[in-house]
Structure 1
């Protein structure tokens, strides 16, 4: 058993709640630009304006019957109104229940019903129709508000007669141990569980994370959120931006993301590793298709070498300066030109890719956590970085590695309970620690490395334990690969099923003189395509022993998506769904 802890640098005051930073910013820096909204260009929202809008919406919620402690559903894309309504719910004393805007009717029914939501704010008419279709199963649900049908202005109008004193009283009564939000986990198996986070959990998280990340969270910083705010990871950035008085923008449509980045010009961004992989692979493919592949590949090697060196020599510095003008500056320009930092989580980024981005001038901080830990527990921070790890525990947080390798976590950021699920709560919270289900290790300096999921361990027929994450992450790093799933439980050897990235497939097909109308399904047995994926598998196998190596793989005819059910909204693989849907392909590996 190993353990590492850091002392807290912030203690949650008595009587504090998550709305306090909104009020203090309005009082102390009323003209500070807190948000920028995409309204015919980016329109500034000051701290005072935001506070007043929060009050207006909170009054509407109060007027329409939302009582302290009652749950309010919120189902929308990442947009300004999401953040506004979130803070308004808290100001009214309510509890926000986020719902992914891509959720099915069954998921919406479960989350609203299990949480006992008394009202819900949705974004579109399609969302409203979905809720209305299951209303018969939701006896607690009252009014449905639609953002696209003027929900904000209608709420403000409804609350126009509510006195300011009522809002002040609701806010004053809200303390750190009151429930702030119930976030339903993605549910890779079974029904999603409602993770109960208090104001204390989230205040402790933000108060201890921000002081060790001053390069990102400061009054002159800005970030453009495009990950779903229904996910705890994006929600933390929202809270951190408001707390640090950084400027926050929202990008609701990822199809417009590159244009939004150009005009918003954030100083830091938040993304999952797949985004960074696609940025790198896209730039590489574009360079090769334009006949500049040799230059990009050389620039790639120089960036990695520069980042990897503690004291780069004169030749390396000269080469780096040259490629900064030719290549790196163009990559930074794609993020708006002002971005110097990024936060990555949800899956391992990979050491080489981390070195590449740091080498081009974008410092990517990898971190680790779960919804149950508010969510961040460890991170590579400004003065403590070790690429290939997810960093040290943040101040006030303890990480312990159990004898079986499971990562255990303690601290005031750990959730209170699973809503209406005492059995799951008792299983997860034992002996003062949250049992994550993740496997990991701590080095002598306290840096944490995640090696896989306890429940995902594969045990071959020969008795070899294999953690699939190591192999899958390495295979997925190949430009042509979108997803990979390692199989082999109770089988004689390890295999894998692989999907092809639709964005990368077209250029590859054309460059290799395949039929212009050929689909991935047409080419699953093509020797050239299989050779590419074999290269990815060979690279992944370098990270494991011979007994753990992938011996046989199958290319699947289409990619995994959330819509087709193989991925959760946070892009995690639903292994049981893939195993069932592609049972014949998996069986063929062992035939």
Structure 2
């Protein structure tokens, strides 16, 4: 579990524009990137990464890209994304990432709203989205492809760059901390996405704050990255790793291969959204009886609490832990590659029970808090200083306070410079340096932050009771059979829920039934099956037991398909778009009050 104990070293860059040139100079031939080609993991050094990015950058200059121009980047997480990202940055231009799951119309909005003059696409599939809307984008002058398709290729761009002089140094040295570094468009659970203007100073400050955490400790460490680089979370992880000389292994492009690739790469640090941890926990909980799981979590938790504190571990506890370790915990660690020192979960809430289990197993999964408007992060948890159920304490240089109405306010050098072409006076407003986050929160006497819910998500029943839907929803998502859960009940007499089934779990269960057998195991049929409804009812009853009667879900409906990004119900980070769900399934919700 332990790895990477070298003293912390950083590039000391002034902005993000000079980070890669300094990293190449400092770390040279050390491995910066690992990426999969076929069945082989190939390596790229810091020096080589800079050579490639420099050629792309000079090619962009040859195309006429000027400092301050916006250049969009549309593609999955891969090494080419990173090369292009740094190339745009060192020219003094502004990176505008677009999620690869976006529709042509969503791409059009980001390209048009940002006034982008160029876009770099991953492949022919992403190019097709741009070509479909290009006639409505008069500012867009250049379309480039990373791999294939009818556009300028990266190889052609690099060739153009090789013929230019070294004006690049003048460009990236001229970039100031207050200059825009990236426009990140929020995934938008309501309304069109807004472009958060984040400066070089914002990200340099948050990279420094995260660096104090010593998440990355040099070339013995390895980060496994599958999160979309269009999201602020993955971007910060990448910048933090390269600033300290830690290499990154980029996933091969297939999310179903994440677990096998963790075994192949053996990372020490894993940033993730909750779903991967929820799935592994659900798998364990489905194969270990509840009493054994509870006892194992209790024993493992006490063992690691003492170990991290440097305290003596009683022989009796060591013996009990060794038994659970042999039977359970070592297999959990192996699922993550066997070397994970720390994992971080973000972008959505995760149940406390899941965090406690992984802590007991020797895979610390810790929460932080932040948003795009805080340049990704604002708080962090540490192995030696954490409270499960909270999202940790403020990062260095960041201040937190709770307003009279319960809204969390954040202040620091990481606070964004506003929304591009959109002076929003409500959520996201910055007043006297304090960002109004839109999140309801509490801060305990030790400085640990707890997020209660979103102001706009609060349900007020017809009886005037305020409900935070995320609590019940997260409880339900722990259930083996449940994929998504959405509570509904604003201005209604009682709360109800819309539930979707986890196909990977429910279908094998249905096929195993014999008394009587279930003939049709399609999801559409299972949603109507009485035995399935009994299963889900038991999970609803279990979750309801935690809440007062007025807060309990009285009725539920099972949807005959899962929520998805493609159908517009989830954001790219898999958050539910409540307004879309409430509107799309209004008839179903209405029927629960009939």
Matches within 5 A, 1:393-432: 393-424=394-425, 428-432=429-433
Which residue does the alignment assign to 1:3?
none
| Corresponding position: 1:74 with 2:73 | yes
Quick one: structure 1 residues 560 and 313, their matched pair in 2 at CA, closer, same or farther if it must change by over 3 Å?
farther
Task: Tell me how far apart the structure 1 counterparts of residues 398 and 545 of structure 2 sit (CA, whole Å).
Answer: 34
Quick one: structure 1 residues 584 and 304, their matched pair in 2 at CA, closer, same or farther if it must change by over 3 Å?
farther
| Corresponding position: 1:567 with 2:567 | no
| Corresponding position: 1:360 with 2:361 | yes
Which residue does the alignment assign to 1:388?
389
Quick one: structure 1 residues 358 and 525, their matched pair in 2 at CA, closer, same or farther if it must change by over 3 Å?
same
Secondary structure of the residue that 2:212 maps to in structure 1?
helix
Gaps of 5+ in 1: 1-8
Alpha-carbon contact 2:11-2:22 (below 8 Å) kept: no
Structure 1 range deviating more: 564-573 or 146-155: 146-155
Q: CA deviation at 1:427?
A: 6.1
Secondary structure of the residue that 1:148 maps to in structure 2?
coil
Secondary structure of the residue that 1:407 maps to in structure 2?
strand
Structure 1 range deviating more: 150-159 or 534-543: 534-543
Quick one: structure 1 residues 129 and 10, their matched pair in 2 at CA, closer, same or farther if it must change by over 3 Å?
same
Secondary structure of the residue that 2:483 maps to in structure 1?
strand
Q: CA deviation at 1:527?
A: 3.5
Alpha-carbon contact 2:92-2:171 (below 8 Å) kept: yes
Q: CA deviation at 1:200?
A: 0.4
Task: Tell me how far apart the structure 1 counterparts of residues 359 and 164 of structure 2 sit (CA, whole Å).
Answer: 52
Q: CA deviation at 1:300?
A: 5.5
Which residue does the alignment assign to 2:343?
342
Quick one: structure 1 residues 427 and 394, their matched pair in 2 at CA, closer, same or farther if it must change by over 3 Å?
closer
TM-score by length of 1: 0.93
Q: CA deviation at 1:590?
A: 1.0
Alpha-carbon contact 2:428-2:435 (below 8 Å) kept: no
Of residues 550, 555, 561 in structure 2, which corresponds to 1:552?
555
Structure 1 range deviating more: 369-378 or 347-356: 347-356
| Corresponding position: 1:233 with 2:242 | no
Structure 1 range deviating more: 546-555 or 200-209: 546-555
Task: Tell me how far apart the structure 1 counterparts of residues 128 and 366 of structure 2 sit (CA, whole Å).
Answer: 41
Task: Tell me how far apart the structure 2 counterparts of residues 283 and 170 of structure 1 sit (CA, whole Å).
Answer: 53
Quick one: structure 1 residues 543 and 447, their matched pair in 2 at CA, closer, same or farther if it must change by over 3 Å?
farther
Secondary structure of the residue that 1:175 maps to in structure 2?
coil
Matched residues, number: 573
Task: Tell me how far apart the structure 2 counterparts of residues 541 and 444 of structure 1 sit (CA, whole Å).
Answer: 30
Structure 1 range deviating more: 539-548 or 240-249: 539-548
Matches within 5 A, 1:3-22: 16-22=14-20
Structure 1 range deviating more: 580-589 or 214-223: 214-223
Q: CA deviation at 1:589?
A: 1.4
TM-score by length of 2: 0.92
Which residue does the alignment assign to 2:478?
477
Task: Tell me how far apart the structure 1 counterparts of residues 67 and 298 of structure 2 sit (CA, whole Å).
Answer: 53
Secondary structure of the residue that 2:554 maps to in structure 1?
strand
Secondary structure of the residue that 2:378 maps to in structure 1?
strand
Question: Structure 1, residues 384-427: CA drift from partner, whole Å, max 9, x if none?
Answer: 21111000011100111111111111111010010011245896
Quick one: structure 1 residues 425 and 196, their matched pair in 2 at CA, closer, same or farther if it must change by over 3 Å?
farther
Alpha-carbon contact 2:473-2:486 (below 8 Å) kept: yes
Structure 1 range deviating more: 24-33 or 169-178: 24-33
Secondary structure of the residue that 1:553 maps to in structure 2?
strand
Q: CA deviation at 1:348?
A: 2.0
Matches within 5 A, 1:487-502: 487-502=488-503
Task: Tell me how far apart the structure 2 counterparts of residues 440 and 314 of structure 1 sit (CA, whole Å).
Answer: 41
Task: Tell me how far apart the structure 2 counterparts of residues 47 and 402 of structure 1 sit (CA, whole Å).
Answer: 45
Of residues 8, 21, 24 in structure 1, which corresponds to 2:22?
24
Quick one: structure 1 residues 79 and 411, their matched pair in 2 at CA, closer, same or farther if it must change by over 3 Å?
same
Quick one: structure 1 residues 576 and 204, their matched pair in 2 at CA, closer, same or farther if it must change by over 3 Å?
same
Which residue does the alignment assign to 1:529?
532
Alpha-carbon contact 1:408-1:435 (below 8 Å) kept: yes
Structure 1 range deviating more: 379-388 or 521-530: 521-530
Of residues 301, 306, 320 in structure 2, which corresponds to 1:307?
301
Question: Structure 1, residues 46-67: CA drift from partner, whole Å, max 9, x if none?
Answer: 1111111111111111111100
Alpha-carbon contact 1:12-1:176 (below 8 Å) kept: no
Question: Structure 1, residues 336-367: CA drift from partner, whole Å, max 9, x if none?
Answer: 22223101012222211111001111011101
Which residue does the alignment assign to 2:458?
457
Task: Tell me how far apart the structure 2 counterparts of residues 409 and 11 of structure 1 sit (CA, whole Å).
Answer: 26
Which residue does the alignment assign to 2:157?
155
Quick one: structure 1 residues 464 and 308, their matched pair in 2 at CA, closer, same or farther if it must change by over 3 Å?
farther
Alpha-carbon contact 1:439-1:451 (below 8 Å) kept: yes
Task: Tell me how far apart the structure 2 counterparts of residues 547 and 129 of structure 1 sit (CA, whole Å).
Answer: 51
Q: CA deviation at 1:162?
A: 1.3
Q: CA deviation at 1:243?
A: 0.9
Which residue does the alignment assign to 2:589?
586
Question: Structure 1, residues 415-460: CA drift from partner, whole Å, max 9, x if none?
Answer: 0010011245896112321111111100000100111110011111
Which residue does the alignment assign to 2:48?
49
Q: CA deviation at 1:325?
A: 2.0
Quick one: structure 1 residues 427 and 563, their matched pair in 2 at CA, closer, same or farther if it must change by over 3 Å?
closer
Task: Tell me how far apart the structure 1 counterparts of residues 478 and 301 of structure 2 sit (CA, whole Å).
Answer: 19
Secondary structure of the residue that 2:387 maps to in structure 1?
coil
Task: Tell me how far apart the structure 2 counterparts of residues 216 and 326 of structure 1 sit (CA, whole Å).
Answer: 31
